[in-house]
Structure 1
Amino acid sequence: MPALLRRLCLLALCFALPLRAAELTVDLGQGARIYRTEQLLARSDVRTITIPDDVSFKRAMHYRAVPLKALLQGADADDALLFVATDGFAAEMPATQILKAHGSEAWLAIEDPAHPWPSIADGKAAGPFYVVWTDPQAMRIGPEQWPFQLATIRRLAPAAERFPAITPDKALKPDSAIRKGFAVFQRTCFACHTLNGQGDARLGPDLNVPHNPTEYLREDLLRAYIRDPQSLRYWPQARMPGFDHQALSDAELDELLTYLRHMSGRKAGLEKP
């Protein structure tokens, strides 16, 4: 067979083969379950939903999606859940936020290979799976709670048990500003950053070693950076989102900085390469 004809036959075969479906792994401690694209799109609870102001696409988007809680059978409200993306992003969320939501509802958006979503910033893909929220304002859902390129969801022990080096002084009262700031840190920062070398995320730098940002940035500049990273350093490829007052109140920002200042005196765990 002439070489050109063989190449044409191979090309025709490639077009004839179905696109390989993506897989989402959900592991809640009773054995991992694998959900494939075509299985999810064929479920009886799949819906077309509209997100008026999508966090990643910065505009209205329409998705085929299933209620996320429907995929979390066996999870308890007290569980912590880790959402891991293929790009290294890792977001930890309390299961109760999804299982017993009041106002906001989490959905797993599923990209149909026959109708791919547009790219987000810098040509990056959001699919094949993406956690989106309807009415996110009701529960003050932050941008870090919209993980895209999702690959795995798994149950976790509490962060303080898994990563003891991120915990503040145990002698502190539960209602102290530092402990409140620790909760804010876990919700807003821990999805992208480690602290004292501990954490699942690999996107952002460590926030305590070798230096804590409270040690090298004036407080007003650090506050401005958290609110709008591009206001301090313009970097088109930057991944850090800004946290507006809806995602992070002034009181929560105060508590977060109080926690970071406290942890600057509790460095541990990370050696320079």
Structure 2
Amino acid sequence: MRSARQSRPVRRRKVVMALEMSLLCLPSAHAASGILTVGEGTTAKQYSASALLRRPDVTRLDLSRSGEPLGASVPAVPLPHLVASSDQGLSFAATDNFVARIPPDVFSRARRDGTSAWIAIEEQPWPRRDGQDIGPFALVWTGPGAEKIDREQWVDHLAAITPGRDAKLPAATGSVARRGRDVFTISCLPCHRVSGAGYGTRGPDLGGPLPVSRRLTKERFDRTVRHPEQVRPDAVMKGFTAEQIPDADLDAIRVWLGQVGPATTSVTQPSQNR
């Protein structure tokens, strides 16, 4: 989860710094919500932590070694017991402006792998992160395939679950750029929009007025993603390792971002060989 997504907001200062700050997250004024909203419109339901804890389907999970280590006996409710269906995908919005849009294939693969999705409830104080409370709700996963769930698909600070919608990102031309857009959707879209498309607003829009891939050199772009603390010593965005985003995928993200907006410089396409 935010072991993968543990980026914390950073303020932009000067224009030059802003270029290097493009992938860092901006501050949020939202406080943790004590209510979980499931659904939208007139059919939406709202749950307090105490209401969920009183449900007969509450189960104790050992999450001490999970992707979100919340404790050894954490109460949780099966996600399918709260949502009508995940067949169209679901969006999970956090109070810090992080939004994970999880497509239906993730849920179908999880079922095949014997992996279960849960809404964990903060009964005892959860470990704080960067001095901040991460409760009172979180999307967590258990079972044999839990390690296959991308880190951006573990969601703390959870405030709302709604039907998933296509973010309608800018088009991608070529197989490399299409791969870049797919990887961006999973790993970057929860915090960043592109040319206004998307839902997450923890970080800046990476599409305009000029894509960051054209503002930054490849070396600077890669370093910002891999080691943001080297770009800014006070950065709290956690870098993505080569295991989390392989080098070829990082190049593909840059290629796709280079196609977004008015072309001013060319972006060299990396080899399509994997």
Please list the CA deviations of residues 53-77 of structure 1 after superposition, one character each: whole Å capped at 9, or x if unmatched: 45566x866421122233222x242
Please list the CA deviations of residues 248-269 of structure 1 after superposition, one character each: whole Å capped at 9, or x if unmatched: 22332232122111215469xx
In structure 2, the partner of 1:38 is 50
Counterpart of 1:168, as a letter, is: A
Of 167, 170, 176 in structure 2, the residue corresponding to residue 159 of structure 1 is 167
Determine if contact 1:88/1:201 at 8 Å carries over to the other structure: yes
In structure 1, the partner of 2:223 is 224
Determine if contact 1:24/1:150 at 8 Å carries over to the other structure: yes
1:119 lines up with 2:132 in the alignment: no
> 2:143 & 2:246 partners in 1: Cα distance?
18
**Quick check: which has more Rg, 1 or 2?**
1
Determine if contact 1:193/1:205 at 8 Å carries over to the other structure: yes
Determine if contact 2:117/2:139 at 8 Å carries over to the other structure: yes
In structure 2, the partner of 1:144 is 152
Please list the CA deviations of residues 186-235 of structure 1 after superposition, one character each: whole Å capped at 9, or x if unmatched: 11111111111232222101102123221222212322321232233221
Identity %: 34
Counterpart of 2:238, as a letter, is: P
Structure 1: state its 5+ residue gaps: 1-20, 161-165, 268-273
In structure 1, the partner of 2:77 is 66
Question: 1:70-109 to 2 correspondence within 5 Å?
Answer: 70-73=81-84, 75-77=85-87, 79-98=88-107, 100-101=109-110, 102-109=113-120
Please list the CA deviations of residues 128-156 of structure 1 after superposition, one character each: whole Å capped at 9, or x if unmatched: 10112336875633332222111111013
Cα distance change on mapping 1:116 and 1:139 into 2, 3 Å: closer
Counterpart of 1:193, as a letter, is: H
Q: After TM superposition, give the deviation of residue 184 of structure 1 in Å.
A: 1.1
Aligned residue pairs, count: 230
Of 256, 259, 263 in structure 2, the residue corresponding to residue 262 of structure 1 is 259
In structure 1, the partner of 2:210 is 211
Q: Scaled by the length of structure 1, what TM-score is found?
A: 0.73
> 1:186 & 1:130 partners in 2: Cα distance?
20
Secondary structure, counterpart of 2:181 in structure 1: helix
Determine if contact 1:143/1:241 at 8 Å carries over to the other structure: no
Structure 2: state its 5+ residue gaps: 1-32, 265-274
Please list the CA deviations of residues 115-174 of structure 1 after superposition, one character each: whole Å capped at 9, or x if unmatched: 2223211x21111101123368756333322221111110133222xxxxx3215xx46x
Q: Scaled by the length of structure 2, what TM-score is found?
A: 0.72
Please list the CA deviations of residues 16-45 of structure 1 after superposition, one character each: whole Å capped at 9, or x if unmatched: xxxxx9321111678212223223222333
> 1:257 & 1:211 partners in 2: Cα distance?
13
Cα distance change on mapping 1:255 and 1:29 into 2, 3 Å: farther
> 2:249 & 2:72 partners in 1: Cα distance?
30
Determine if contact 1:67/1:106 at 8 Å carries over to the other structure: yes
Determine if contact 1:81/1:95 at 8 Å carries over to the other structure: yes
Determine if contact 2:167/2:199 at 8 Å carries over to the other structure: no
